[in-house]
Structure 1
């Protein structure tokens, strides 16, 4: 078959929340240019779907014969159908409508090959169903299905690695050895190990302050949400807690005590007299001071639906005027040019973030408020001055890309508000997500039949997926693995575990009598204990040399550590993708699909049957997709 050109390749990577796509392969591979929510909305006709929410205006028409008016809401997710859940396709009609929507939006030319990144949980029958839909509906000249783990391997340029794909509601752990996926022990769609578990934990911690699940999701994606190491010290700038905060925030979060020493359990939280939950007046934090805001996240949506919007706007304008006057007064009284110190997020007991209030916006849309009224509400809760102040006195480690992201979304019509969060933002993974994921990784690597490959799998750990995008997640998972399963190379347990089974255990006197299969170390003077441990850790050494000639090698001689690893390392990502380096490698599966597409459709040209052509489909039907794989 004639080779395809760069601009004749379409890559689609459907996910539980986001679907990535791109037409063409640029000279320097870039992140996906087309991103769409992996959801569709029911259309007016049964069995049909729309990509966005369509609302019917309730305002009475001017003429009785005129038809009702509709408007398209690009931000709302009310009534959305998500066809992919935990990696599985639960609604095939909606899934096919999503693929068709992506294809029609990109509108590729007729002679365009398609490479679809398949979820590991998809069955062969589902592969056939997808191939049938694409060939009969989209009619491409060629189709390739690629496993997500294999695509990640192509992105990192490795042949052996342990792929940990942390998604929205699940995680997939795959061991790949010499480009061969080990199906035995492969962990597919492991629940309660994805980004949703982190959001659920934040929602539990912040429920008493009125934080909805949607707000907690945005908090998780913000720069202030971070997973700190186990030995992190949550103190203020001067090294001790401030007067209105617990001296040990970690102890306050778990026990309610002000500190970890004696005499610190005299608070009402430690005595069990307050309800469970974070925030002032609960088991996290001190008693609320006078004048503090006790509303948490103000429910403005209920104010709007109650018809008190005008009073709320007047109050907000008055508050803004008072704050502006106080700021001017403070600037005149204070020294010129004095600015608070810039502290990293981990050194702050409290920090603020900006979120989009979709509930308020939906409530105003349902009440048929005009665009001007929505703009007035957006201006009333505008967080521009607060963000400017945060840029001057905020996080020293806040990425500049996040500020640009805030400015971009401020033009999108969403109502953006600001909220303050305490040490709960460091406890997203405190629900046991890391421990569960570490156990799954250990079981997967231990299930690899080639014992000699396990150490290489431990030293090539790849963590991808948008669920791992939380700051510090990868480092915390690596630390959990090292804490639970890492053993020291110099430990006596490992030394004796590497001895052949036909050697007796050394006695307290140091005496050891080898069995008959290994002759005594006469002549060369090689100690069999030292030789056994050395050859076990260095399998490339010739076992016939070193004074052990003439005897048959025992079958029980170990060549590597079969159970626990001696080192756990993260694989290093290649540095020749500058655009990906700036965006992050959480979506490296799409980068691997780009590399594989170039190899499949341009270099290999179908010689290795890496993709299925239209001729193959006409001759073999959907079942022929099983003969075409990477």
Structure 2
């Protein structure tokens, strides 16, 4: 799937999560770590939030497209209160006091509420409630619980990743590993899960310069600049262009997900009518591992020469 000299694989399974550091293409067996938490941990958390639901309904919710992990920014923009995730929520009740104090007609408020529930093409995070279908074909309505259940798992994974990668002796190798985080496993297909885990890693482990020290260093750097440069810098969009950066001995100063290789990029804009040709090309690529494409016919060659391109195939 991916070939990197230095990386860290986070494999989120059903009942456990493995953290596997790789240095110089070799797995560091003595640093491989595992925590007894995985996709089932999300189910257990949701069960506490929705005790009236059975296990099949919980699993269906987790696999539904409306179940996602919101970023901190998305939580702030959302109308939900995520301060207490264990808070009991009565989804069928109206805030009567709010309606009375608003001075508006009750019928108008109820009609507006009903219209809001029927609005289409609205972001999931902007909806107070949303629905999904379980395995038995029943339509189920759910509130803010569809954004909860993953926080505990994400925090524990982040903590264990930090403890594991701190044991890499070579500082340069450790930096390279932090810059190539690979997150795999069925649980990671949950919308927003990878981004939330990356955000937690940044929050817990990223080493940054304290704001006070940074401001002081910038002022000192500007004070030694010529007057003409200072005057010019007022009109520059980046006024700290001449301020030197600090290279920390500690790591990580950069944490990011590994970039996956891009195979057959020319097919990205093709429709499903060409999917058969693409499948044949992929099979040919697997059989003939030679880097040249002279062993099989590509779509470009076929478009140029048609069936006559077969005569150009060389082994």
**Residues 386-425 of structure 1: pairs in structure 2 closer than 5 A:** 416-425=137-146
SS in 2 for 1:356: coil
In the alignment, is residue 350 of structure 1 matched against residue 129 of structure 2? yes
Q: In the alignment, what sits opposite 1:186?
A: 32
Q: Distance in 1 between matches of 2:203 and 2:72?
A: 10
SS in 2 for 1:162: strand
Q: Distance in 2 between matches of 1:234 and 1:225?
A: 18
Q: In the alignment, what sits opposite 1:456?
A: 176
Structure 1 segments of 4+ aligned residues over 3 angstroms from their partners? 233-236, 251-254, 285-290, 489-494
Q: Distance in 1 between matches of 2:254 and 2:76?
A: 29
Contact 1:235 1:349 in 2 (8 A): no
In the alignment, is residue 572 of structure 1 matched against residue 259 of structure 2? yes
Q: In the alignment, what sits opposite 1:427?
A: 148
Find 2:48's aligned residue among 204, 221, 228. 204
In the alignment, is residue 220 of structure 1 matched against residue 62 of structure 2? yes
Q: Deviations over 1:510-545 (max 9, x none)?
A: xxxxxxxxxxxxxxxxxxxxxxx99x94xxxxxxxx
In the alignment, is residue 250 of structure 1 matched against residue 250 of structure 2? no
The structure-2 alpha-carbon separation of the partners of 1:463 and 1:419, relative to structure 1 and needing over 3 Å to count, comes to same
**Residues 270-289 of structure 1: pairs in structure 2 closer than 5 A:** 278-280=88-90, 287=93
Q: Distance in 2 between matches of 1:195 and 1:355?
A: 18
What is the Cα deviation at residue 184 of structure 1?
2.2
Q: Deviations over 1:469-495 (max 9, x none)?
A: 11111111111111111111577999x
Q: Distance in 1 between matches of 2:77 and 2:176?
A: 39
The structure-2 alpha-carbon separation of the partners of 1:448 and 1:572, relative to structure 1 and needing over 3 Å to count, comes to same
What is the Cα deviation at residue 230 of structure 1?
2.3
Q: In the alignment, what sits opposite 1:475?
A: 195
Q: In the alignment, what sits opposite 1:340?
A: 119
Q: Distance in 1 between matches of 2:15 and 2:173?
A: 30
Q: Distance in 1 between matches of 2:74 and 2:45?
A: 20
Q: Deviations over 1:414-448 (max 9, x none)?
A: xx111000001101213x11111001111221122
**Residues 364-403 of structure 1: pairs in structure 2 closer than 5 A:** none
In the alignment, is residue 157 of structure 1 matched against residue 157 of structure 2? no
Q: Deviations over 1:287-312 (max 9, x none)?
A: 4699xxxxxxxxxxxxxxxxxxxxxx
In the alignment, is residue 173 of structure 1 matched against residue 19 of structure 2? yes
Contact 1:206 1:279 in 2 (8 A): no
In the alignment, is residue 438 of structure 1 matched against residue 171 of structure 2? no
- TM-score, with structure 2 as normaliser: 0.62
Q: Deviations over 1:338-393 (max 9, x none)?
A: x8352111111110001113xxxxxxxxxxxxxxxxxxxxxxxxxxxxxxxxxxxx
Q: Distance in 2 between matches of 1:482 and 1:473?
A: 14
Bigger Cα Rg: 1
- TM-score, with structure 1 as normaliser: 0.33
SS in 1 for 2:172: helix
Q: Deviations over 1:153-202 (max 9, x none)?
A: xx1232211111111111111111110111122113x211x111111111
Q: Distance in 1 between matches of 2:203 and 2:10?
A: 18
SS in 1 for 2:131: strand
What is the Cα deviation at residue 214 of structure 1?
1.6
SS in 2 for 1:232: helix
The structure-2 alpha-carbon separation of the partners of 1:458 and 1:480, relative to structure 1 and needing over 3 Å to count, comes to same
Contact 1:234 1:347 in 2 (8 A): no
**Residues 24-35 of structure 1: pairs in structure 2 closer than 5 A:** none
SS in 2 for 1:474: helix
Contact 1:354 1:417 in 2 (8 A): yes
The structure-2 alpha-carbon separation of the partners of 1:181 and 1:489, relative to structure 1 and needing over 3 Å to count, comes to farther
Q: State the number of aligned residues.
A: 227
Question: Which ranges of structure 1 fall in alignment gaps of 5 or more residues?
Answer: 1-154, 242-247, 257-277, 291-329, 331-338, 358-415, 495-532, 538-559, 583-593, 604-630
Question: Which ranges of structure 2 fall in alignment gaps of 5 or more residues?
Answer: 97-110, 112-117, 215-243, 270-281, 291-315
